[in-house]
Structure 1
Amino acid sequence: MSEQGRILLVEDNPDDVELTLRAFKKQGLVNQIDVVNDGQDALDYLFRKGRFAGKVTSPLPSLVLLDLNLPRVDGIEVLKQIRSERKTRCVPVTILTTSREEEDLSMSYELGANSYIRKPVDFHQFTEAVKQLGFYWLLLNERPF
């Protein structure tokens, strides 16, 4: 069950977290954004385990923005586990990463990522990408939950 417009941002770089939050705000997207800084916390958040057991009462997010290069559990493994569980299988996952590795791109789609975006370095380009992400995934896309 999804709460309208809630986003889970999985990002370990504080500068990228701030950039993403600023980009959403600049585009007027006022969705609730929950931030976790590593792959294990992302899994714990989604499956209500570890430090999130009994603490997260909100429904699943409408969108997961997932970096690939994460501490503890990498983004590829997070994606595998999201897609392997019935309750999270249909949650849209957008890979938002600086990785230029073709293997990361291919593997992400093979494992069920809904989209793959390489983070633009330019803030204006990044805010435009965030605007398009928000518009599509949070307003236009029909979700099965």
Structure 2
Amino acid sequence: MTQQMPVQKRRTHTMEILLAEDDSGHATLVKSNLRNVGIQNKIRHFEDGQEVLNFLSEKENGGEHIDYENAYMLLLDIRMPKVSGDEVLRQVKNNPRLQLMPVIMLTTTDEPQEVRRCHELGCNDYITKPVDYDEFVEVIRRLGMFLQIVCVPPLEE
């Protein structure tokens, strides 16, 4: 007679989307169009790079902060006030506790040297926001479709 081992229940993780975007119009479009394609994940909006770094720090800084048992994906604009997106990216990818977090650059900049530099710093993907409204909506719709199928692990098990 073999003895059955108890099945360990794994906690399921819901990925939280961190949106770092200083343009409130773009942030609203991103959030509403992700919702339109069925994304129900929590979306936390940051208006500058320092807000992102404060949230990602291990200190509460008087407000909410990251929970390392959760999964996150960072949608990151490059040109932001206080701390630039590429500096946020550099700090995330150089932090052993954060480096597994997927970072997707979502920016109007399509200069080849910027794309290359962000990939060298460790971004997972680079998406250029079109200037045309309908094209912008379509890009976000496709991003939403990607977010529906992607698997992201928690920062720490």
With the length of structure 1 as denominator, give the TM-score of the two structures: 0.85
Quick one: percent identity of the two aligned structures? 33
d(CA) in 1 for partners of 2:89 and 2:31? 22
Shift of the 94–57 alpha-carbon distance from structure 1 to 2, 3 Å rule, reads closer
Of Structure 1 and Structure 2, the greater helix share is in 1
Q: Which residue of 1 aligns with 2:103?
A: 93
Give the deviation of 1:61 after TM superposition.
Answer: 4.8
Q: Determine if contact 2:54/2:61 at 8 Å carries over to the other structure.
A: yes
d(CA) in 2 for partners of 1:61 and 1:74? 23
Q: Does structure 1 residue 62 correspond to structure 2 residue 66?
A: no
Q: Determine if contact 1:44/1:52 at 8 Å carries over to the other structure.
A: no
Give the deviation of 1:30 after TM superposition.
Answer: 1.7
Question: Aligned-pair RMSD on alpha carbons?
Answer: 2.3
d(CA) in 2 for partners of 1:112 and 1:22? 28
Q: 1:105 aligns with which of 104, 111, 115?
A: 115
Cα deviations across residues 47-89 of structure 1 (Å, max 9, x unaligned)?
Answer: 1447455x33645552100000000110110000000001110
Q: Which residue of 2 aligns with 1:44?
A: 54
Matched letter for residue 114 of structure 2: D
Higher mean alpha-carbon deviation, 11-20 vs 127-136, is at: 127-136
Larger of the two Rg values belongs to structure: 2
Q: Which residue of 1 aligns with 2:152?
A: 143
Aligned residues: 143
